Structures are given as structure tokens and as C-alpha cells.
Amino acid sequence: MGANSSSISELPENEYLQKLSGSEPISENDPFWNQLLSFSFTTPTNSADLKLLEEATISVCKSLVEKNPRTGNLGSLIKVFLSRTKELKISAECQNHLFIWQAHNALFIICCLLKVFISRMSEEELQLHFTYEEKAGPSSYGTECEDLIEELLCCLIQLIVEIPLLYPCQHTDSNWWKWLCSWYRGRYSGGVTSALGDITYSISLEAVTTLIVFLSCQLFHKEILRESIIHKYLMHGRCLPYTSRLVKTLLYNFIRQERSPPPGTHAFQQQTDGGGLLYGIASGVATGLWTVFTLGGVGSKASAQLEQCSPLASQSLLLLLVLANLTDAPDTPNPYRQAIMSFKNTQDNTAFSSSNPHAFQINFNSLYTALCEQQKSDQATLLLYMLLHQNSNVRTYVLARTDIENLVLPILEILYHVEERNSHHVYMALIILLILTEDDGFNRSIHEVILKNITWYAERVLTEISLGSLLILVVIRTIQYNMTRTRDKYLHTNCLAALANMSAQFRSLHQYAAQRIISLFSLLSKKHNKVLEQATQSLRGSLGSNDSPLPDYAQDLNVIEEVIRMMLEIINSCLTNSLHHNPNLVYALLYKRDLFEQFRTHPSFQDIMQNIDLVISFFSSRLEQAGAELSVERVLEIIKQGAVALPKDRLRKFPELKFKYVEEEQPEEFFIPYVWSLVYNSAVALYWNPRDIQLFTMDSG
């Protein structure tokens, strides 16, 4: 690296990197570090260039792994970085305007080296590279820096939670910040806020990325890590007091969705009239460094994509998910999960529980808005699931919102486009609906929200429909998709559970929603008859031959009958609790009354069929009395009149249909591979060789 611009292909031959990974110890006070950290380099974001960077870094790392035990140069680099970050907080007397650039560059190199180290050695071996003590020589760092890993982790967390990000007005009490603002004034045409925001944005992003890399050892183990050196540092000691501040900062990074600084806007503008030697050095470093910050350069495809998103918000969310899903330590629960489970609204004035030292407050309105706007990503959906499932304060707030459609519609759109989503994303969206439908208030309110022109629903033009009816349509569509494609019993179960939870509060069902409920039952009925016929034919064929085993039709039949039973219970629950509110469902039931004939005497359905049979008979009789050739409007009028006349005591009462989502035992077996697959696929400017990944297969990633 160094002052000259470097391309990826030149990295292995770069004289500064060769010296870093060479045989000579380099003191942390050596001028070499100023040369090393003054480089111009474009961080790649497409997979091909990221792979090249990985390969180039490996060649440097191999040499460093071999020689670092004798030179201690990795430790010296880290100590240089630590010293630069300490300078970020010094008083105005320092007036060293290069430290923030060098701190970023040092962290970028550390992150690249760590990523390769962690992928190729155990944590115990990694720790040796941090704690090795050379008895003689200028780079000795044994006893006084025996916790260099902890010091680095702590420093990264401090960078994330303490560096001002695009909001200098919030830090006007800081002398160094006042000085930096003063120094930039007049140097940068875009203003102080923009200039300082650019540089702090980039170093914050690099700190978040490096913490993710530190935790990436999980990627290279098939089993879930339950005891980890890095986890121990993060859950104990000097890092622990920062837990709530780190979680809060990562959440606010997600909420704010600050865009990355646009390519070509430099905090240090090039000058043609000189400006002095010191400024010339600063300008050269800043211009070269800025190509790192722009994440791909002007005109690249990756850059164009990144302009549409916030790398810091995305990376912060990934780190938050990783931290929240760390396994509990033997002697203490995961403090980051505790923080996520217990934070409150800024408008909540109740006292914090003394049992949880990691609680904090955050603006729930801003959080809700961000969650509504970001549901296209797996990460945001997983965060929403975690908050609804684990944080009762968030769940209560969400359920009390009068604009719940802003949250539910993006979730429904995920399910509607099920064929375009990975199975985990669909599961999370479905479980979110299940959690929401556990609340009776939600189940009532969704039928009061009227939507117009749902453009993404293609099967039928829906000019006006309630949110509740749309939810029913999408869940039924998901069931039908699953029946014909994936045949996942888990998906079936959760879809039906959500419908069952809502069924007692069905109100004013749209005619199309009512039709789809009965159509699903029709599909199940045909499936049932087909399997029954196959079982009969198979049994007849087996009478003449004992050579081949019989297919297990009994199991298929049992599964189908369970689903049919559940659908009958959902229809029955609606008829029993809200028949007078749902004439369209009664209409659809009467129109397809023949479907139910075969189940009337079936031993598995006799009890639940009593009410449905009674409703069909009662309304059929009233329609016969009204005469033939009735219009749709007249039939609906008769149904509404009949709903008032039907004696409610004639309908048999069944236990209320209520299902509650409960996580499986050892949920980490599902969530940790899922979270790391998101990191692998979505993290900004991070690449791991797929052949090295042990935690999941590439298909699941």
C-alpha cells in the first residue's frame, strides 16, 4: 500500500505489505506506519474482485502467520491503530488532522488480515498471535498488552458508540470536535456536517465490519459454538458495560438508513495552488483513501446498487443479529439478547427493572417506521420477528398502532411472492403473522382497515378489500403453493394456525376471500379422494403379489385429514362466532354445499360437521321457500335475514381456536446458521471462500 495507488493484483508485491509481513520487527513508533497507512485503494464489492482481494491477502497473511511470532508486527499494527483512535478524543491542542484517516486505513488492513487468520486457524492459535511476547526487541508487547484482543474489541465498540455520525451538532461540547469543525470550515464546499459525516461514516462502517469478522469463526465450524474466546470477551470484562449502548447504536444505524457518501465528494479537496507540505500530504492521503470509502468507485455496478441503500445500516443490522444470537455463556445469559428483549420506548417513564442492567430506551415510532420500510430484506424481517417474539414492549406498541397495515402489507407481499423468496424468509414472515394473530384486538382491527388497489396481487383486481380479507387470501395462496410445490408440513401448520386464530373475529369477508376459503377446502377434498383411490388400487394390486412393499398411503391420508379437520374447524369457528357478519362465507358455503356431503358421516369429522350441516340445511330451506331464479343480491339479502333468525343455541359450542407460537428447543440450531448465511450473502465488501464454509451448505446460504 503506501502513498502510491495500488491495484489488487499489485498487493502481494507491495513493498510496505512485504515489510509488514517480513522478518524484521517494526516498532509501533517507526515512521513506516505513516507510509503504510497513506494508500490509495478501491475496496471491491463484486464477487470477482473480492475473491482477488482475498487471494492477494492470503499471500501476505501466510508470510505474516509464519513470521509474526518472531516479529510481533500484527501486534504493532494493532497498537498503532489503538493509538490513532485514542487521538480522536484528545483536546484541540493536538491539531493532527491525519489521525482519523490513518485510523481507518489501519483498521481496514487489520480487518483484511483478521479475516484470513480466522478462516485458517483456531481461536487459540489466533490468541497466540495477539499475546506473543518477544523478550528482546523494539516490538515487545507481552505482559502490558496480554489482553490485546480485548483492547481491540473494546476500541471497536467505542468507535461505533462514540464517534459522531453525520450529527456534529450533537457533539458541540467536545473540544476536539469544535476544532475539527473549525479546521474544515472553508476547506469543504459541502459544509462541515457533510465532510465530517463522510469520514466518520466510513470509520464506523469499518469498525462494524471488523467486529463481524472477529465473530466469523462460527462460519468455519459445523457445530454451534457454545464456548468461544471472542464471545467471552464480548460478554464479560471491559466490553460488557457497553452492551446497551452498542445495541442502541446499531438499532439507530438501522433506523436512520444513512446513505453512503456519494463517490467523488472528498473531505479534502485537491488544490492546485500548493497549500503547504503538510496540507499536500493530507490531500494526497485523503484522496487516495476516499477510493476506499466509495466502495467500488464511480460507475461500477456495485456502487450503483449501494447508492440505493445504506451500507452502515445493513452492516449494523447484521452485526446486531449475530450478537443477539450468540449462545449463552455457562455462567451468564447473552447480554445482547437481554438488551434486545428489554429496551423501552423513549416515552415510557416507568422505572427499569434492576434485574436487567442492559435495558435502554429508543424511539419506537422511528423504529416502527424503519421496520415497515425495510421488510424486503431477510435481515429486517428477522429483526421484526425477534422484537415481536422477545420484547413485550415492542409487541404491545406494534399491536396498538392505528396504521398496522404499514407493517402487515410488506409481510403479506413477502408471502405472496413466495416463489421468489428463500424458505427461511417465508417462515419468518409467516411466524410474524402468527404472533400478531395471537392478539384478538389485531384480529378485529384488520377487518376495519380498508385498502384500495392492491397492485401486487395479480390473480384478481382488488379495488377495495379489508386488510383482514387480504391476509386470508395471501395465507390461503401460500397453503396452496405449498401443497403443489414444497409440501412442507411446518408451513401448513403455521398457515392454518394463523387462520384459526383469526377465525372467530372474521368480519365482512370479501366475497373473493370467502370463495378462496371454500376453494381450498375443495382442493383438499380432491386430494383426499385421490390418495384414498391410490391406496385402494395399491391394496388390490398387492393381493396378487407379495414382492413389493406398499407405499405409505396411510401417513399421507392422515396428514390430509388433519388439514381438512383444521379447515372445518376454521369454518365452524366463523359460523359459531360471527355468522351474521359474514354473509359472503355463507353464500360460498351454500354454493359448494355438495363438497361437504362425503364428510358428514366420516368418523374423523362427524362432530365438527354438525354446525356446518345445520347452517347449510337452515339457509337452503329459506332459499327454497323464496323460490327459484334468485339473483345474487336477493340470495345475500335472504342470508342476512336468516342470520338474525337462526337460533344461536342450536349451534354446538367448541373450544376456542387459539394457537401460540413457541420456539423449538435449541432454536440456535436454526437461527445461527440462518444469520450467518445472511452475513455471507449480504455483508458489504466481505468475501469468504465458499469451500471454507462449514456451518451451512451453499444451497442453504
pLDDT tier at 352 (50, 70, 90 boundaries)? confident
What's residue 103's pLDDT?
Answer: 86
Say if CB 413 and CB 420 are below 8 A apart. Answer: no
Q: Give the mean model confidence (pLDDT) for residues 383-407.
A: 97
Does position 4 have pLDDT exceeding 80, yes or no?
no
The pTM for the full model equals: 0.87
* Lowest-confidence segment of 199-208, 263-272, 616-625, 677-686 by average pLDDT: 263-272
Q: How far apart are CA 267 and CA 265, in angstroms?
A: 7
- Grid cell locating 140: 515487545
**What pLDDT score does 274 carry?**
34
The two most distant CA atoms of the chain are separated, in Å, by 107
- At residue 545, the pLDDT reads 57
Dihedral class, residue 519 (left if φ above 0, else alpha if ψ from -120 to 50, else beta): alpha
> Region 238-261: what's the mean pLDDT?
92
C-alpha cell at 95: 491539531
Say which range, 90-99, 282-291, 412-421, 530-539, has the weakest mean pLDDT.
282-291
Q: How confident is the model at residue 169 (pLDDT cuts 50, 70, 90)?
A: very low
Angstrom distance (rounded) from CA 346 to CA 596: 54
Highest mean pLDDT among 74-88, 513-527, 646-660: 513-527
Report pLDDT for 203. 87
Contact in structure between 74 and 129 (CB atoms under 8 Å): yes
Q: How high is the pLDDT of residue 699?
A: 61
Task: Please say whether the dihedral angle defined by the alpha carbons of residues 402, 385, 362 and 254, taken in this order, is positive or negative.
Answer: negative
Secondary structure, 3-state, 324-380 = HCCCCECCECCHHHHHHHHCEECCCCCCCCCCCCCCCEECHHHHHHHHHHCCCCHHH
Distance CA 416, CA 439 (A): 23
Q: What is the CA radius of gyration of the chain?
A: 31
Q: Any idea which of 502-511, 534-543, 569-578 has the lowest mean pLDDT?
A: 534-543
